[in-house]
Amino acid sequence: MRSRRKRVQRVLIWAAIAIVLVLFTFPIYWLFGMSLKQNVQITAWPPQFVFKPTLENFDYVLFSSGTPYLRYLRNSLIVALATTAVTIGAGALGAYSLSRFRFRGRTLFMFWVLTARILPPVAIGIPLYLIIRNLGWLDTYVAVVMAHSAFILPMGVWIMTSFFDTIPADIEQAAKVDGASPFQAFVYIVLPVASPGIGAAAILAFIFSWNEFFYSLVLTGSTTRTMTVALAGFQGALQLEWGYMSAAAAITVLPLFAFVFLTQRLLVSGLTGGALK
Amino acid sequence: MARTTPHARPRSARARGITTFRRERWLYIAFLMPLVALLVLLTLYPIGQSIYTSFTNLNLARPNAPQLFVGLANYRTMFESDIFWVTLRNTLVMVFGAVTVQLVLGFVLALLLDRELPGIGVVRTLLLLPLMVTPVIGALVWSLMLNPSTGVVNYLLTLVGWSNPPVWLGSGNLAMMSIILVDAWQWTPFVMLLLLAGLQGIPVEFYEAAELDGASFLQRVRHIILPMLRPLIGVVLLLRVMDAFKIFDKIYILTAGGPGSATETVAFHAYRQGFGFFRMGYASAISMVLLVVVLIVSIVLIQRTQSEGAHA
């Protein structure tokens, strides 16, 4: 009797899990489905769930001579890598210092870092646009990377500070007793131990920059346009282009999914790092 | 903030073995400098510039007109315009709606997945995928799926017997609800992830004791799980509220603020005034008010989280 009740319960739980899974992954399935359809199939009524896949869209997006998508991808990649470099470069040093160095106003400084992360993008975007316009830097990579760093750098500092906090200061002290300078202790002792935390921050910095839309929208132009801005331009576009759009979108999302499957532990520790520690 | 910030931990620096020598001091200061410089350049300076601009009549559509100081005129115009109050209300509805749905659903999902079943790891991984989808792309896919004449959502609804399914993005309340649901699709997995980690941190003994007492599932949720997770829920709430204020891509793609102004938030309003009508002075004023609202809400939430963390 009891075991039968248990079995029913188990079936119900799996049914619930299956429903949840379908609801949350369906749009992703639909995106990849569209990217493998011809345009007539995308707009077909009733919608086609089973169809003969074609790679035409990917072929056009990646290999046709006139494709603009490779440029968008390259721009997104340049911006995301540069933003990651700024975040890790300035962020790891700053985070280490914040973790070890007690100074007056440190609490206030940490609060500043936190608020920098929550500032509404328009509040930064409008003045940044004006400043960059005055400098004549609109449609340059530097402009977009600066804007992305404005919110990604504080996020990275937050994550890395909590990681450095988990590393006992004893290990540097030990190195210094052995004659290492503080800088050497940082480079040779602390950095290797902190590399998972720095890796998590780097992955998240890359993802946030790669996915960013607002700053890219107002700061990029024809030469630096990133993928998100290009894709948003499809809103209300001719149905002829939906196939290309979904293929380009699928290519944009795939590396992010690779992160989920390959570096899940790091990713989760970064996402939860600031919150759970 | 108590549980989230490293500096608020009870252990003092000295207790953690930190003693600062002069040599190290200089290293720490040097390490801090690039960060301070960038933060000043990228946050303080733009905000200062924006406060200044908000007191001027800067309009990029009239490049030759002088930029004049107009005092509080922009702020007066804003507070006297109906549309500003509408967008403020929309913002609050969107933040409240999105965060509520995500917290409730995320909690239920965490409870559902907090068990040892074969294959549960794969399920958890798959549920993380929406979190990774580029927001613009998620919104585009949803806008195609919600299309009233060609979209798959309404097709499926007619299949299950809803003969006249709604035009999702076409009417005010439904459009707002659609944006909230799309945001929930993306971010509920994040809430689930954090709460699941919290659930797994509850010692087994608590459950065993409850089982001995014959507590039902709901009693366990109410008397063990919710009190134990309270500080964590506070942190998740804070993170989600701060992010929900930033929703922009989804509005831009799904509704562009419409129909009418039904889904136009303060941020979107400022964007339209600044980059649509080039009224940069006015747009700056709007964005500064938004900044103040976000800061006040965040500080209130941070303080609540902090005091709850202390009680827990």
From chain B residues 126-165, the ones with a CB under 8 A of any chain A CB are 126-138, 140-145, 150-152, 155
Q: Which of A129-133, A265-269, B288-292, B300-304 has the lowest mean pLDDT?
A: A265-269
pLDDT class of B2 with cuts at 50, 70, 90: very low
Calpha distance A197→A193 (Å, rounded): 9
pLDDT at B12 over 80: no
pLDDT class of B56 with cuts at 50, 70, 90: very high
Alpha-carbon distance B302 to nearest alpha carbon in chain A (angstroms): 10
Q: Among the three residues A40, A60, A80, which one is the final residue of a domain in this structure?
A: A60
pLDDT at B307 over 80: no
Please count the residue pairs, one from chain A and one from chain B, whose beta carbons lie less than 8 angstroms apart: 291
Q: What are phi and psi of A103, to 5 degrees?
A: -135, 160
User: Is the domain of A49 the same as that of A162?
Assistant: no
A119–chain B Cβ distance below 8 A for any pair: yes
User: Is the domain of A154 the same as that of A55?
Assistant: no
User: Is the domain of A79 the same as that of A124?
Assistant: yes
For residue A38, is it left (φ>0), alpha (ψ between -120 and 50) or beta?
A: beta
Alpha-carbon distance B177 to nearest alpha carbon in chain A (angstroms): 17
Instruction: For chain B, give the percent of residues with pLDDT over 70.
Output: 91
A5–chain B Cβ distance below 8 A for any pair: no
Q: What are the DSSP calls for B200-242, one per residue?
A: HTS-HHHHHHHHHTT--HHHHIIIIIHHHHHHHHHHHHHHHHH
Q: Which of A97, A198, A108 is nearest to B13 (CA)?
A: A97
Average of pLDDT values for B8-34? 69
Q: Among the three residues A60, A83, A99, which one is the final residue of a domain in this structure?
A: A60
Question: Which residue in chain A has the smallest CA separation from B279?
Answer: A126
- How many CA atoms does the CB half-sphere of B181 hold within 13 Å? 15
From chain A residues 243-262, the ones with a CB under 8 A of any chain B CB are 245-246, 249, 252-253, 256-257, 259-261
B239–chain A Cβ distance below 8 A for any pair: yes
User: Residue B189: what pLDDT?
Assistant: 95
User: Is the domain of A208 the same as that of A263?
Assistant: yes
User: Residue A1: what pLDDT?
Assistant: 56
Alpha-carbon distance B42 to nearest alpha carbon in chain A (angstroms): 5
pLDDT class of B149 with cuts at 50, 70, 90: confident
Q: What is the pLDDT of residues B25-54, one digit of tens each?
A: 889 999 999 999 999 999 999 999 999 999
Alpha-carbon distance A79 to nearest alpha carbon in chain B (angstroms): 15
User: Is the domain of A173 the same as that of A210?
Assistant: yes
Query: How many separate domains does chain A show?
Result: 2
Single-letter amino acid, residue A237? A
User: Is the domain of A44 the same as that of A73?
Assistant: no
Max Cα-Cα span within chain B: 80
User: Is the domain of A12 the same as that of A80?
Assistant: no
User: Is the domain of A228 the same as that of A175?
Assistant: yes
pLDDT class of B10 with cuts at 50, 70, 90: very low
B65: CB partners within 8 A, 6+ apart: B57, B59
User: Residue A48: what pLDDT?
Assistant: 87
A63–chain B Cβ distance below 8 A for any pair: no
Calpha distance A139→B24 (Å, rounded): 42
Mean pLDDT value across chain B: 88
User: Residue A2: what pLDDT?
Assistant: 64
Average of pLDDT values for B70-89? 95
List of domains in chain B: 6-311 (1.10.3720.10)
Contact B47, A124 (CB under 8 A): yes
B127: CB partners within 8 A, 6+ apart: A20, A21, A24, A25, B109, B113, B189, B192
Helix H or strand E segment including A258 = helix A242-262
Q: Which of A174-178, A213-217, B202-206, B304-308 has the lowest mean pLDDT?
A: B304-308
B303–chain A Cβ distance below 8 A for any pair: no
Calpha distance B28→A182 (Å, rounded): 9
CATH number of the CATH domain containing A197: 1.10.3720.10
Of the residues B42, B112, B123, the best mutation for testing chain A's interface (the one with the most A CB atoms within 10 Å of its CB) is B42
User: Is the domain of A29 the same as that of A69?
Assistant: no
Instruction: Say which residue, B119 or B271, is predicted with more confidence.
Output: B271
Alpha-carbon distance B161 to nearest alpha carbon in chain A (angstroms): 15
Q: Among the three residues A45, A60, A75, which one is the final residue of a domain in this structure?
A: A60
User: Is the domain of A174 the same as that of A272?
Assistant: yes
B287–chain A Cβ distance below 8 A for any pair: yes
A69–chain B Cβ distance below 8 A for any pair: no
How distant, in Å, are the alpha carbons of A191, B51, B94, B227, B299 from that of B266?
A: 43, 17, 11, 35, 19
Alpha-carbon distance B64 to nearest alpha carbon in chain A (angstroms): 14
Residues in B touching A94 (Cβ below 8 Å) = 31-32, 34-36
Domain that includes residue A234, residue range: 65-276
What pTM was estimated for this model as a whole? Answer: 0.91
pLDDT class of B312 with cuts at 50, 70, 90: very low
Q: Which of A14, A210, A234, A60 is nearest to B139 (CA)?
A: A234
Helix H or strand E segment including B162 = none
User: Is the domain of A151 the same as that of A167?
Assistant: yes
B104: CB partners within 8 A, 6+ apart: none
Calpha distance A221→A214 (Å, rounded): 13
Q: What is the pLDDT of residues B232-246, one digit of tens each?
A: 999 899 989 999 999
Q: What are the DSSP calls for B77-105, one per residue?
A: HHHH-HHHHHHHHHHHHHHHHHHHHHHHH
pLDDT at B9 over 70: no
User: Is the domain of A129 the same as that of A259?
Assistant: yes
Question: Which residue in chain B has the smallest CA separation from A216?
Answer: B249
Average of pLDDT values for B262-278? 96
From the CA atom positions of chain A, what is the Rg in Å?
Answer: 24
Say which of A118, A183, A257 has its CB closest to residue B27.
Answer: A183
* ipTM score for this prediction: 0.92
pLDDT tens for chain A, residues 1 to 277: 567 888 898 899 999 999 999 999 999 999 999 999 988 888 888 888 888 899 999 999 999 888 889 999 999 999 999 999 999 999 999 999 999 988 888 989 998 898 888 899 999 999 999 999 999 999 999 999 999 999 999 999 999 998 999 899 888 888 888 888 888 999 999 999 999 999 999 999 999 999 999 999 999 999 999 999 999 987 655 556 888 999 999 999 999 999 888 888 888 888 776 555 4
B122: CB partners within 8 A, 6+ apart: none
User: Residue B7: what pLDDT?
Assistant: 46
pLDDT at B5 over 80: no
A97–chain B Cβ distance below 8 A for any pair: yes
pLDDT at B8 over 60: no
